[in-house]
Structure 1
Amino acid sequence: MRTYLAARAACIVFLFSGSAAAAVSEEEFAQLRAEMLRLAERVGVLEEENRELRQVAEATVSEVQLARTEAQEAGRTVEEWAPGTTFSGDFRYRYEEIDVESRDIRSRHRLRARFGAVARLSNDVEIGLRLAAGSESPVSGNTTLGSGGTSKDLYLDQAYAKWRPFNGAYVTAGKMKNNFYRPGGAGLAWDSDYTPEGLAFGWSGEQLFINAAAIGLESDSRRDNHTFYYGLQGGARLPVGDTVSITAGAAYFDVPVQGESSFFGDADDFFGNSFNCTDADNCAYLLDYEELELFAELTYSGFAMPLNFYADYIRNLDADTYDTGWLAGARLGKASAAGSWQVGYQYEDVEADSVLALLRDSNVGGGGSDIQGHKLFGSYAVARDWTVGFTVFVDNDAGENRTGSGTDYDRVVFDTIFKY
């Protein structure tokens, strides 16, 4: 276009030159001059239109490129957005009724919501983080609905770093998933929601495994109840023929809490363990907990669905009385794939000073130690990631060791759980 304009300008210059004027009359020259000026004006208009069209075309190309980028990004997976990072979580809605002797039946609606991420920095290092909407309790992830629909608290449930120095080995530091094996997933020593804080390490092979930990009940040395406990566990997984497998092992936990104040709750909250008080605000554990544990679990896969038996025994070597706890149970099936189901039964008897009550199961007999009773449970998988279930705690008894006559405790729980 610029070349074209230059040519027209040259013509105009020529027309205005003396030689051109000599070849035509003055009137013809004036007409020619006017025509050339109109042509130059028209060329200017065309050049402006061309510039505007070029801007529109460039904007259209940019919009197409942006739309294409957005479409590509919308189709990206989590792994593409954050390579090496995985996300997971669960949501549980619960309705329960609790019938405690000589009290009105209590009913309530509760929920538990958790969301976590694990970032794998390399083949042998990972960082984990999980948040939970629940309570401050170390053994409960539930929050009760109410208080006029107030917002619920969000807590740090896990935050850890894990290193795998060689095949089967691990070292974990932070607030983490409990690394000790629990037969049948039962809570004789540890509640399923408990996430210990400290250092854990271990190794697992095809048949043998070992777990150890140094865990802070109170890590701050400026606190009066500064305490760490230590644990060591070992076991074996042994196949017996084609349809039977057995897992068995032993553990020892050293929990030096004698003379220490309570770690959670009020000053006199020891959850069934023996304690004494000098006044209402100063109470302390009477004993240490030197816990020796023996456990076994058997799985039979010869039926259309798995059949599982498990047992757990624990004794506090520092106690002279009320020093033993045990449980046994069975489970048929596994609620995993859509349409699958499971049912089970468990009985346990946990004397007052057999185990540190703060960290054990929070459901049977109302939680803690000095309890005994039956548990029936079942669940059905509506989909791979959605189950509905029930748990019935029947003929539970709490407080017999402390008072000489226990309190009847019954409870019915209905759950619906979504995992992602």
Structure 2
Amino acid sequence: MKTTPYRLGAIAPRSGLIGATALVGASMFAGPAMASDTTMQLIQMMRDNGSITQAQYNQLKAAAADDEQQQAHAQSARPVADQASLEARVDDKLAEMEWASKIKLKGDIRLRYQYGDNSGRENAAGNNIDRNRGRVRYRLGIITTPMDRLEVGAGLASGGSDPRSTNQTFSDNFSSKGINLDYAYAQYEFTDYFAAIAGKFKFGDYLWIPTDVMWDGDINPEGVSARLNFDNALGESFANGGLWVLNEFGGNNSDPYLYYGQLGQQLASGNVFATLAGTWYGFENTAQPGTFNPDYSAGTNTDDQFGIVNVNGELGTKFAGGKASLIGEYLLNTETDTNEDTGFAFGAKVGIERWSFKYIYADLDANAVPDIFPDSDRLGGATDMKGHEIAGAYALTDVVELGLDYYNTERKSIDLDEQILQADLSVKF
């Protein structure tokens, strides 16, 4: 039997088309470059040796060209698809991290050298004892906005439980220093003009106070407050009010508290600005022992009844590179049975570019205000006192400041005076 050697030309025309199509399809996996070169060479060779007809050649050539165009289009579309996929993944990550945009950290650290000369602190020989202290204050706050118009904040601060101090003195052989809850509040803005706050919070926009003759700047009251402000022909009017808890006793339901209401008006005309406000503080159940913690009060009140009228104001002007203003407060305790019922403070503030200066003269009768509230740097926050404060500061940068603060204060009813000098380096972040 005679056999026929194998060659391409022996393939039947129909089966030749099928085989050629398979070869073309296989070559397409090598990419567009092979489809345009090797594939066309294969089908041309098959036509030349008779494996496929001219019509089949034309059909395969058209199919190869169509496949080449589709693959080229797919290749050009891939970067666009890859970019879209990348953008989708980035959007997903940003959505997962959206909470971060609702959180703000803020804080400061203050390093202080303090010198004190107190005539009431004497040694056995009757000589005054000077006091030198290194001190540090550290505060860190976390402010969040979980939803529109709602703000929740909490802050930690160095110091102990004294409401008037967040300082820690360098002492006790490098002992660790305490950190406490300084404030924790929730605030909601019902409209652009009305807001309320509850918890332990800073005075902020809920009580306008130009000096610290009644309120030490470290005090954060506890309770609830509200504010209302609106524009008028003179400028902006504001009304503040609230109820603050003073203490809580488990043995009765007559817990001491205070409530207050404040009305004020801000004025502005050209470079001149002014603020005038009046405040009423009402106190309830303060006659109970322990209402004002003796560990933190100065012990200078002789009466425990308070109802305080407070009038305060500021008048200033702006000029190139800064501003200056006069400030003042007047206080009257209408509830005390004693004649030691008034207090006042007046002074001035100046800010010129990176420099700032302040002067305050303060005078408090023994029962003008509770002796647990005033600035603790004036004779430990005592009432029955009068004295001067002169302060200056220079901002090295937007966040770093050097400051000097000098107090010269004396008790009015006894022979006691004190001088304090504080040198500060403060850093905000």
Instruction: Report the TM-score when normalising by structure 1.
Output: 0.73
Gaps of 5+ in 2: 1-85, 123-127
Confirm whether residue 353 of structure 1 aligns to residue 381 of structure 2: no
Matches within 5 A, 1:138-149: 138-149=163-174
**Aligned partners of 2:214 and 2:375 also within 8 Å:** yes
Residue matched to 2:312: 295
Residue matched to 2:281: 253
Per-residue Cα deviation, 1:222-274 (whole angstroms, up to 9, x for no partner): 369821111111101011x3110110010000123542223465479553211
Residue matched to 2:417: 408
- Distance in 1, Cα, partners of 2:106 & 2:276: 31
Let me know the Cα RMSD of the aligned residues: 2.5
Flag the 1:417–1:267 CA change in 2: closer, same or farther, 3 A: closer
Matches within 5 A, 1:89-238: 89-101=107-119, 102=122, 103-179=128-204, 180-184=206-210, 186-206=211-231, 207-222=236-251, 226-238=255-267
Flag the 1:194–1:383 CA change in 2: closer, same or farther, 3 A: same
Per-residue Cα deviation, 1:10-62 (whole angstroms, up to 9, x for no partner): xxxxxxxxxxxxxxxxxxxxxxxxxxxxxxxxxxxxxxxxxxxxxxxxxxxxx
- Distance in 1, Cα, partners of 2:135 & 2:285: 33
Per-residue Cα deviation, 1:80-139 (whole angstroms, up to 9, x for no partner): 561311110010111101111143001111111010111112121111110111121111
Instruction: Report the TM-score when normalising by structure 2.
Output: 0.71
- Distance in 1, Cα, partners of 2:133 & 2:242: 36
Flag the 1:251–1:198 CA change in 2: closer, same or farther, 3 A: same
- Distance in 1, Cα, partners of 2:294 & 2:194: 39
Residue matched to 1:3: none
**Aligned partners of 2:297 and 2:381 also within 8 Å:** no
**Secondary structure of 1:147's match?**
coil
Confirm whether residue 370 of structure 1 aligns to residue 384 of structure 2: yes
Residue matched to 2:333: 316
**Secondary structure of 1:205's match?**
strand
Letter in 1 for 2:344: W
Flag the 1:406–1:140 CA change in 2: closer, same or farther, 3 A: same
Flag the 1:256–1:332 CA change in 2: closer, same or farther, 3 A: same
Flag the 1:100–1:114 CA change in 2: closer, same or farther, 3 A: same
Letter in 1 for 2:283: V
- Distance in 1, Cα, partners of 2:183 & 2:272: 35
- Distance in 2, Cα, partners of 1:112 & 1:253: 30
Residue matched to 2:347: 329
Per-residue Cα deviation, 1:351-371 (whole angstroms, up to 9, x for no partner): 110011211211123313111
Out of 290, 297, 300, the position equivalent to 1:262 is: 290
Deviates more, 1:319-328 or 1:361-370: 361-370
**Aligned partners of 2:163 and 2:296 also within 8 Å:** no
Please tell me whether Structure 1 or Structure 2 has the larger radius of gyration of its CA atoms. Answer: 2
**Aligned partners of 1:262 and 1:270 also within 8 Å:** no
Flag the 1:143–1:249 CA change in 2: closer, same or farther, 3 A: same
Residue matched to 1:87: 105
Residue matched to 1:397: 410
- Distance in 1, Cα, partners of 2:131 & 2:99: 47
Aligned-pair identity in percent equals 25
Letter in 2 for 1:316: N
Per-residue Cα deviation, 1:138-181 (whole angstroms, up to 9, x for no partner): 11111111111111111000111111111121111111112543
Gaps of 5+ in 1: 1-67, 275-285
**Aligned partners of 1:255 and 1:290 also within 8 Å:** yes
Give the number of equivalent residue pairs. 326
Out of 355, 362, 374, the position equivalent to 1:341 is: 355
- Distance in 2, Cα, partners of 1:327 & 1:162: 31
**Secondary structure of 2:132's match?**
strand
CA-CA distance at 1:348 after TM superposition: 0.6
- Distance in 2, Cα, partners of 1:226 & 1:294: 28
**Aligned partners of 1:218 and 1:225 also within 8 Å:** no
